[in-house]
């Protein structure tokens, strides 16, 4: 497994996204735990979660608690695992997603996440999504305060545009370590954010790096994007593995976090760091 850096901490080049294990269509708890253990077995040392990764209104933090349980029950050393969580997004329980970027809310949410994760300080805490009803600087200011108070060790943002990345980094005094945006063969509009992160030396964490849960579960990624399937066939691997290898090749700051709900899925994804694409292949995929 290749290693990459988030705020000076070495992590696996491929992370694990926890959301599919806690929202609609989630597997049973036993399979979810097995999936997280398979990720750890494969050398994954970055696990991404959020307090909003749950299905019903009365189970806020479902995924955080699941990850904490899996880490506790794992037979090996987990001291090098960086767990990244997020706050500022909510699920009322009716299938919708709402936002709350109020500083007072974010501070309480972070402390609640730390308790669920069973840690004194959260490894990486990210502002989940801008709230149009709260000035962005006020929300990021709360993340800065959490960093200064030692509630969190590293600070990041999610679903941000270039101006917000620059603003957040300024408010944090140059301590912004990660930006988590959607990016995949299907969704490439975050390329400017990826390029800015590469310029600033900030980790860029693509969420839904395989094009979303439905595309990944259906296995249609290769059918929709033939170049990815053709290059996968040439290497004798899955188009999912090619997709992640392509993203890794775009910049040394990229750390994809594919979601998974089966051990087999994350085991395959983790091997993307070993797949070396040629410059011509990367160019072909970028143009596809």
Q: Which residues are catalytic?
A: 53
C-alpha span between 109 and 113 (Å, rounded): 6
Cα 85 from Cα 111, distance rounded (Å): 11
Cβ atoms of 236 and 229 within 8 Å: the answer is no
Both tokens of 280, joined, read 């011509």
Which string of DSSP letters, residue by residue, matches 228-259? HHHHHHHHTS-HHHHHHHHHHHH-TTB----B
Q: Are 253 and 25 in contact (CB under 8 A)?
A: no
The residues near 130 (Cβ < 8 Å, ≥ 6 apart) are 99, 101, 136, 139, 159, 160, 164
User: What is residue 220's three-state secondary structure?
Assistant: coil
Tokens standing for residue 217: 């579960």
Instruction: Please enumerate in sequence order all residues whose Cβ is within 8 A of that of 71, keeping only pairs 6 or more positions apart, or say none.
Output: 36, 78, 81, 83
How many H helices and E strands in the chain?
A: 12, 11
């Amino acid at each position: 497994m290749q290693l990459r850096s988030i705020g000076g901490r070495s992590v696996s080049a491929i992370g694990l996204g926890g959301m599919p294990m806690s929202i609609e269509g989630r597997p049973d708890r036993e399979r979810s735990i097995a999936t997280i253990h398979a990720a750890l077995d494969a050398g994954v040392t970055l696990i991404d979660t959020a307090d909003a990764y749950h299905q019903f209104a009365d189970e806020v933090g479902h995924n955080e608690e699941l990850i904490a349980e899996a880490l506790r029950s794992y037979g090996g050393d987990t001291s090098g695992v960086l767990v990244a969580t997020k706050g500022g997004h909510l699920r009322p329980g009716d299938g919708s997603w709402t936002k709350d970027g109020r500083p007072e809310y974010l501070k309480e949410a972070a402390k609640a996440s730390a308790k669920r994760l069973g840690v004194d300080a959260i490894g990486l805490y990210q502002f989940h999504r801008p709230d149009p009803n709260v000035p962005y600087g006020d929300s990021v200011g709360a993340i800065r305060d959490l960093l200064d108070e030692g509630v969190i060790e590293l600070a990041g943002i999610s679903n941000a545009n270039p101006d917000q990345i620059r603003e957040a980094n300024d408010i944090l005094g140059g301590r912004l370590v990660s930006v988590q945006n959607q990016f995949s063969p299907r969704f490439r509009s975050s390329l400017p954010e990826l390029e800015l992160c590469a310029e600033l030396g900030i980790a860029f964490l693509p969420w839904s790096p395989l094009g979303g849960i439905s595309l990944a579960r259906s296995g249609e990624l290769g059918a929709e994007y033939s170049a990815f399937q053709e290059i996968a066939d040439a290497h004798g691997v899955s188009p999912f593995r090619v997709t992640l290898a392509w993203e890794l090749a775009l910049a040394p700051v990229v750390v994809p976090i594919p979601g998974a709900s089966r051990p087999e899925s994350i085991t395959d994804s983790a091997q993307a760091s070993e797949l070396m694409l040629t410059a011509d292949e990367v160019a072909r995929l970028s143009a596809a």
